[in-house]
Amino acid sequence: MNYFIESISQMLGRAPAKPLQDELKVEVREIYEEKRKHKLTKEELLALEEAHARTRHRHKWRNRRWATLIIVNLLFVVSYYFDVQLVEGALTASRVVGFHMADLNSALQVMLAYKHVVLNLLIGTVTVFLLWVLVGGRTFCSWVCPYHFVAEFAEKLHVKLADKKWIKPVTFHRGVRTVFYVIFALLAVVTGYTVFETISPTGILSRALIYGPGLALAWVAVLLLFEIFVSKRAWCRYVCPIGLTYGLVGSISPVRVKYNVVNCHHEGDCRKVCEVPHVLDTTIRMRARDVNVPIGADCTRCGLCVDICPTDSLNFEFVGSKKLG
């Protein structure tokens, strides 16, 4: 199936299709066959993972990403605090050295609710659209969104609690995010209020950082507690329309993660660290249709899978150029 359609339908909630044997390319079938013949022992696999855990690059992309996320958010804070007018506003809308920028989802909600579009908002929206087409769409989520950052720590706690069997993790149907997307759009049109903005932890956290904390942080705390004790990464996975908006943008982006089947041992470490593991379905044995498979648009390009893969089977690519990093 076409990458574009498959990638978007997966993002909207469809389960990844399991390819039939004859849908796999001959080369891939040969590779799988070869792997079946020469299986690594448990000890060999363990040694491989331990060796990888010791490498200097074990957290390369995570560190780059966290640095970027912190710097971007601090730029807003520092710029206001010292009144240097470098980055004015908040993540919902801003002016970067005078140029208008508007968060695509916030701008969409405003347009739907207010039903007028001011030129400045249009300029800001188009600028940000082009920017995120270029750098990967949901890259916004993992490289910029402050809620993503705190949710990563909530996720660590959740995984710990689940490992100790102190909590029973709950999952939902991924398609529910699409339902939310439609509902929030309709609510904006019908009520004339930007309903989603009121509960968006991205906007709340961004404003709290810049203009000082408020009661709204209690809502963010509720979301984090839900993610720690009930459902892993629930907001980003099942609710947030910002992610879906940027995901759609990212479906035409040249920056994406690419999977290469040759050295993969199909251990599934990448799927364990992934916020949206369905995009890595192709890394399961007999699921890759081709030797190289681009990862779908729902991928936030966070690079955790690239970092954790002991065999270098997952890498960033810029379509039309060589591998990144």
Partner 1 sequence: MSTDKPKKPPLSPVRREQNRREFIRSGVLVGGTLIAALAGFVPIAGGGTHRLRPPGALKDVQLGERDFLSACIKCGQCVQVCPVEAIHLADLADGYGLGVPYIDARAQACDFSCDGLQCVLACPTGALTHSLNYPSQTRMGFARVARPDTCLAVQGKGFKGQARGADYRGKLRFDEVDRWNPIPVADHPYDLELCDLCVRQCPIEIRIAQCADGKPPSGDQNQCPPRHAIRLQPVGDGKAMLPVIEDGCVGCGVCEMICPVEETVIVIDLDKTADTLSA
Indicate whether 187 belongs to the interface with partner 1 (CB under 8 A).
yes
Binding window for partner 1 (CB under 8 A); candidates: 56-64, 105-113, 291-299, 306-314: 105-113
CB neighbour burial string for 96-120, b if at least 16 within 10 angstroms, e if fewer: beeebbbbbbbbbbbbbbeeeeeee
Query: Least distance in Å: CB of 193 to partner 1?
Result: 4
Q: How many helices (H) and strands (E) does the chain have?
A: 16, 6
12 to each of 86, 124, 158, 176, 227, how far by Cα in Å? 37, 26, 25, 8, 21
Indicate whether 181 belongs to the interface with partner 1 (CB under 8 A).
no
Indicate whether 191 belongs to the interface with partner 1 (CB under 8 A).
yes
Long-range contacts of 51-57 (CB under 8 A, 24+ apart): 51/310, 52/308, 52/309, 52/310, 57/307
Q: Output 46 or 84, the one with its CB closest to partner 1.
A: 84
Q: Output 114 or 318, the one with its CB closest to partner 1.
A: 114
Residues 6+ apart with CB under 8 A from 149: 66, 69, 70
Indicate whether 215 belongs to the interface with partner 1 (CB under 8 A).
yes
Indicate whether 180 belongs to the interface with partner 1 (CB under 8 A).
yes
Q: Output 98 or 320, the one with its CB closest to partner 1.
A: 98
Indicate whether 100 belongs to the interface with partner 1 (CB under 8 A).
yes
Indicate whether 299 belongs to the interface with partner 1 (CB under 8 A).
no
Residues 101 and 95: beta-carbon distance below 8 Å: yes
Query: Least distance in Å: CB of 250 to partner 1?
Result: 22
Q: Which letter does DSSP use for residue 323 in this model?
A: B
Which two tokens mark 80?
């206001």
Query: Least distance in Å: CB of 52 to partner 1?
Result: 35
Q: Output 180 or 316, the one with its CB closest to partner 1.
A: 180
Of 75-94, binders to partner 1 (CB under 8 A) are 80, 88-90, 92-94
Task: By CB under 8 A, name the one of 132, 143, 181, 238 that touches partner 1.
Answer: 238
Q: Output 61 or 235, the one with its CB closest to partner 1.
A: 235
Neighbours of 270 (CB within 10 A): 25
State the Cα–Cα distance between residues 239 and 176, nearest whole angstrom. Answer: 7
Q: Output 4 or 211, the one with its CB closest to partner 1.
A: 211
Beta bridge partner(s), residue 102: 93
Indicate whether 28 belongs to the interface with partner 1 (CB under 8 A).
no
Is the alpha carbon torsion for 119, 143, 273, 152 positive or negative? negative
Task: By CB under 8 A, name the one of 31, 234, 249, 257 that touches partner 1.
Answer: 234
C-alpha count within 13 angstroms, C-beta hemisphere, residue 131 = 15
Helix or strand or coil: residue 183? Answer: helix
Contacts with partner 1, residue ranges (CB under 8 A): 1, 20, 80, 88-90, 92-95, 100, 102-103, 106-107, 110, 113-114, 116, 118, 120-121, 124, 170-173, 175-176, 179-180, 183-184, 187-188, 191-199, 203-204, 207, 210-211, 214-216, 218-219, 234, 238-239
